[in-house]
Chain A
Amino acid sequence: MAGYIFRRVLQAIPVFFGTTFLIYFMVFAMPGDPIVALFGDKTPNPAVIEQLRQQYHLDQPFIVQYFLYIGGIFRGDFGTSFSGEPVTQILARTFPVTIRLAVLALIFQSVAGIAVGLVSGLRKGKLFDSSALVVSLILISLPIFVIAYVAQFVFGVQLGWARTTVGPGAPLQDLILPAIVLASVSFAQIVRLTRSSVIETSGLDFVRTAYSKGLSRKRIVPVHILRNSLIPVVTYLATDFGVLLVGATVTEGIFNVPGVGNTLYQAIIRGEGPTVVSFVTVMVLLYLVVNLVVDLLYGLLDPRIRLVK
């Protein structure tokens, strides 16, 4: 196990340098003045430009700039936002809200997705199955901002069941609607994955054996079929984290949830390029860490993975 952890962490190092270098390269190795480019149509105050030049060490050669920037990341310095607040300070304030939203969405999508997928798979070809497939395809086709606006309009404006924007402190009951919206796309994917996995497992020999030795369906479905069908679903939940990050950016923006995603959203729509870069970097690093942790957990749960290679 120690060897597996070591190998996996070692693999993550080039990816860490690669991704940060790519982001940095895209921004600062472009022709022209990167700071002016980042502001687009706006012409920032010369003092702001000068401060950003210093912050990103633009007087140095490119590769030196990059390593100074990496050094900053290791010291926990992700730069300052447009309003002058350190990015880490903003993260400390907004991160707990995003975690709450994301955990809520994860619960919704996995509980509902697995339940619907299981019933669908057990009743393959029946009315419930066909309708679940159609609904999931429609949900996959709807971009998340469309789902968010429809939900906001129907449940918030017309029916008045939920508040259209989240109140100060982001209380849990205000987060329910945004979390359902955030969960909807992955919910559909989980339904489809669980369904096909259940159909596949139901046809396997050990399930037939279980039936032929007289076990009840009540025992076979949860213990034999469901448990063995969940492996691809769990894998999906981990890879889906990137979708969740982008989804959270849009959802938090539309429902005005005071989270990390909303900070990025506000910076994007206001055209505050340097803040956008800082927060995208934070999200990418988060994505790397989550994938690393999930891989390590796999090694812990499934001995086959850590023994291969």
Chain B
Amino acid sequence: MKINSHIMSEKLKVLLFIAPLLIPLLAFWIVPFGWSIYISFTDWDYISPEYSYVGFENYQYMIEDSYFTEALYNTFVFSLGVVIPTVMLGLGFALLLHKNFRGSQLYRAVIFSPWITPTVAVSIVWSWVFETKSGLVNLLLAKVGIAPIAWLESGDTAMTVVIVVTVWQAVGWTMLFFISALNKIPTSLYEASLIDGCSPLTRFIKITLPLISPTTFFLIIVNMINSVQAFDQFQILTQGGPSGSTRTLLYLFYQQAFEQYDMGPAAATSLIILAITGVLTLINTEMGKRWIYY
């Protein structure tokens, strides 16, 4: 009896510690997840109380829906467009800045600063920079004699602008993770390579790159997940336009759910986003297990 009550009080103690997190996690993450799956099999329109079960119709419709396939393609283009320059620039800056020297902290802070600021506010600033009539970019182009480009109003360039803004915000954060990884490389390895007389380039390819590859991989995946979930800059700069050329999956979800109130298809779209981020996360954990050098 005494032992039993002891176990009970132990369990109660654990519950006391985990409940404050578990309650909101259940209410706003886990239960909604199951609920979304359920909604994705219905044709619910949010306003009317009745709805019917439609099976896989929302998912089947998706494949035929040109909006969906276009959004999937745009998400892909946007992710790659963001990830490649972000990781390359982040690594470049980290290589220049991972050793402390006079001014290195200032440079790090400056490069990181865009990450701190609200995406909405800085996207507004960028929307002025790329504005067709009075934007800075077109004014500068005019100085060199290039005709103004309708950056945000034309389907060919709008995505590029959103990518530029996103890379600008993400690069400092990526750099910090690379700095952390570069500083973990044991100096003895470099000393050995100096004795062997390696050129800086061979040293970079043979020592630095392999040793930071887990971090590189992590940063590629995390930046991809972040770009799949990017919304603020799209809403300010393009609203998915012109004519759907910057409509990503998340933006399509937003329009389906909160502009058209098609909750069924919207939930289905959100689950496709989940499938993408889920696969990326799994790849990340699997590769993380395999690639530990330090």
The judgment on whether A and B are partners is no
Which residues in B have some Cβ–Cβ distance to A below 8 Å? Answer: none
